[in-house]
A and B are shown apart, each in its own frame.
Chain A
């Protein structure tokens, strides 16, 4: 994320390129142990290959920055276009929970922090309510207070912890 699309390209293109061309490498011998795929899957994969298509992620390495964004390999750009891309994703996929990986490739810490902060302060408020009329059943919520375990006092040491567990152990072994 940056203030403008041009600035985003200047800041992030080389890190995206590093990710697609270097971080997705798998030693071919580990790619497909025999017996891992069914015959139908093997056949479907071969037919796709022969038709000249490929779904491989590292195909993105050969694309221009604009194509990477356009085809959805990454979400990136200025504030307004990221909001637009996020909205398109949420509505297009009909999903209310998006997991974002804000760091990729060899992006330095400071740059990632800058990007994350822009995302948190300028994008999230604009997309949070895309599905506002629906009840969110799925976001993790804190446990009720009475259900939480109280952390053990570490100063009491390990043997005391065993003493605490003894009544439960006696129940489990029928008192022996």
Chain B
């Protein structure tokens, strides 16, 4: 995926982002492993939308910007608003996966007038005593992101294939470091009290093999957001954008276009 660059006027940060396709603008916010291996889902979404996928501060080429962000949602959200302003986008669809879904929800809660429709895939940020996910940061250092995938082979394929082994492993660890800044030690971001502010029609997607955000989180997100639908993808874990990009892209497209989806996809 080819990355473009812009410098935000207000924040003064360099943003590396992918942009392709035609149609309504769709801001795509990546998960814990950055834009790694988003290729296929991105291409599929670009068939129906003008997709903008920025690398968040702390991830990938923006790894050194992590220290510019406070731990809470404010800096990240302002940064995302800066990107929209600099691209001249007043109102967009927003889709996010994992930590990106948390950022998307914050954006929709803090600046509801900027978000048309919202898709949250395996969103982190709620803490449910009765449905605790596994800790994505207490992991074996030799296979740090394994928990996110349905099998060790899936991780090997998506993290290492076609890349230098050391570089891939280092960026895997750095991407998790960025996620940990916002989610460690307990992934409770305080968003539960801001969710009622979201006005955008929202689709919440959970995955039945997700060990980080158990499917049981789905109904909690749905209840807290005014206009929310919930659907569950079967047979996939925390990173459906990598393991089943086609299915996820279809689901996102269907909701953004028709505003409704089947409860089980």
Which positions in A face B, CB cutoff 8 Å?
28-35, 37, 39, 42-43, 46-47, 50
Q: Report the minimum CB–CB distance from A24 to chain B (whole Å).
A: 16
- Residue numbers in A under 8 Å from B173 (CB-CB): 34, 37, 42
Interface residue SS majority, chain A: helix
Question: Contacts A28-B139, A29-B139 given: A34-B166 contact, CB under 8 Å?
Answer: no
26 interchain pairs, CB-CB under 8 A: A28-B139, A28-B140, A28-B142, A29-B139, A29-B140, A31-B140, A31-B141, A32-B141, A32-B144, A33-B138, A34-B137, A34-B144, A34-B173, A34-B179, A34-B184, A35-B177, A35-B180, A39-B63, A39-B174, A42-B169, A42-B174, A43-B166, A43-B170, A47-B166, A50-B165, A50-B166
Q: For the complex, count residues of B whose C-beta is within 8 A of A.
A: 21
User: Which one of A28, A29, A34, A39 has the highest number of Cβ atoms from chain B below 10 Å of its Cβ?
Assistant: A34
- Residue numbers in A under 8 Å from B137 (CB-CB): 33-34
> Is B228 positioned at the interface, with any CB of A under 8 Å from its CB?
no
- Residue numbers in B under 8 Å from A39 (CB-CB): 63, 170, 174
On whether the beta carbons of A30 and B138 are closer than 8 Å, the reply is: yes
> Is B40 positioned at the interface, with any CB of A under 8 Å from its CB?
no
The residue of chain A having its C-beta at the shortest distance from the C-beta of B171 within the complex is A39
User: Which one of B63, B142, B173, B179 has the highest number of Cβ atoms from chain A below 10 Å of its Cβ?
Assistant: B173
Choose one: A28, A30, A42, A50; the contact of B170 (CB below 8 Å): A42
> Is B260 positioned at the interface, with any CB of A under 8 Å from its CB?
no
Choose one: B142, B170, B174, B184; the contact of A33 (CB below 8 Å): B184
Q: Which of B225-250 contact A (CB under 8 A)?
A: none
- Residue numbers in A under 8 Å from B170 (CB-CB): 39, 42-43, 46
- Residue numbers in B under 8 Å from A47 (CB-CB): 166
> Is B44 positioned at the interface, with any CB of A under 8 Å from its CB?
no
Q: Report the minimum CB–CB distance from A27 to chain B (whole Å).
A: 8
Q: Report the minimum CB–CB distance from A2 to chain B (whole Å).
A: 40
Q: Report the minimum CB–CB distance from A170 to chain B (whole Å).
A: 44
- Residue numbers in B under 8 Å from A43 (CB-CB): 166, 170
> Is B26 positioned at the interface, with any CB of A under 8 Å from its CB?
no
Choose one: A33, A34, A46; the contact of B169 (CB below 8 Å): A46
Mask, B163-204, CB within 8 Å of A = 1, is: 001100110011011011100100000000000000000000
> Is B135 positioned at the interface, with any CB of A under 8 Å from its CB?
yes
